[in-house]
Amino acid sequence: MQAFLDQEFLPAAALAKITEVRLTDPECPARTARTRKRRSALTPDGRLNILAADHPARRVTKVADDSLRMADRHGYLARIVRVLQSETVDGVMATMDVIEDLLILHHLILEAGGAALLDNRLLIGSLNRGGLAGASWEMDDPITGASPATCAAMGLDGAKLLLRICDEETGSLSTMLTCARAITEMNALGLPTFLEPLPVVKSDGGYRVVKTAEALAKIVGVASALGDSSRCLWLKLPYCENYEVVARATTLPILLLGGEPVGDATPLLREIAAGLSAGANVRGALVGRNVLYPGPEDPLVVAQAAGSIIHHQWTVERALDTQESWRGRDMDEMAGYFNRLPSQ
């Protein structure tokens, strides 16, 4: 299997064009966001397969042994765009800088006569990234990104919040209050909130997520009650053994998260399938690193496999058996668009 090459898929000219647009037409992202075609409903079939792309904003850039892999914006964008080529991916959740890069790419691709990258895709803004990894205030995670009002003004389709609760850290209470206020504001705007509540404990100088059914079921009860109403609330939770216990802790829709990349997406696919079978309210996945950086594999292959399990109820075995048909598909598409654009 030939390794996926970021720069072969998305040429350097694309990054240069993004910077050029940022300099000459800074309103392009906002204008493009307001004019792109949006879905009439959040989920046509009741399920979602969303890509997560907000890790660098919390100083999380490591993949395998490379401490700066996700800090390379060229490679990061190339892989996000590659995943968005999958028809089984509903959209992307990211910080505003990444969303704006994608909106500029959407504009440039249309200018080159290509198909709209973000039409009928969900754009979910990541709101609180201030709890920087490794910082003394890591559990105090205020909104340092877009506000709910900005999400509405930009025509985004929702917002995501991270809530890590560590009983030994008072900063967790500040984060909980921040999340409660944001959920209330999102409700007033009629926009969905995707809340990621995680029980954590101190471990080896950092924090470790407690992935047990008991811990997750307990935190689900806390998270579901935040804000003035749960009517627009989705939960983003990790998979664990006895997941039916977690699913039974709420009637809210649940999306599975992925965790750190392991270089092989097969375990992720099995967790998604197992999670979906654990309860009727488990409705898909909101995964980032394991889709974007699946070792040498083409990210499109993983996105298609996950989406087929979620939207088409495929078995993991069927998704794995079909990987070869997706690998390397449409690899020249982006290069073709940017070769047609006039050079400056």
Q: pLDDT, tens digit, for every residue of 58-109?
A: 999 999 999 999 999 999 999 999 999 999 999 999 999 999 999 999 999 9
Contacts of 123 (CB under 8 A, 6+ apart): 33, 91, 92, 94, 99, 102, 154, 155, 156, 157
Question: Can you give the pLDDT at residue 278?
Answer: 97
Question: Can you give the pLDDT at residue 171?
Answer: 96
Q: Which residues of the chain have pLDDT under 50?
A: none
Going along the chain from its start, the domains and CATH numbers come out as: 7-340 (3.20.20.70)
Question: Can you give the pLDDT at residue 2?
Answer: 72
E strand or H helix that includes residue 51: strand 48-53
Helices (H), 36-122: 73-84, 96-111
Taking each helix axis as running N to C, give the angle between helix 96-111 and helix 28-35, from 0 to 180 degrees, rounded to the nearest 10: 70
Question: Can you give the pLDDT at residue 343?
Answer: 60
Question: Can you give the pLDDT at residue 205?
Answer: 83
Question: Can you give the pLDDT at residue 337?
Answer: 81
Q: How far apart are the C-alpha atoms of 91 and 53, rounded to whole Å?
A: 11
Q: Are 125 and 96 in contact (CB under 8 A)?
A: yes
Question: Can you give the pLDDT at residue 306?
Answer: 96
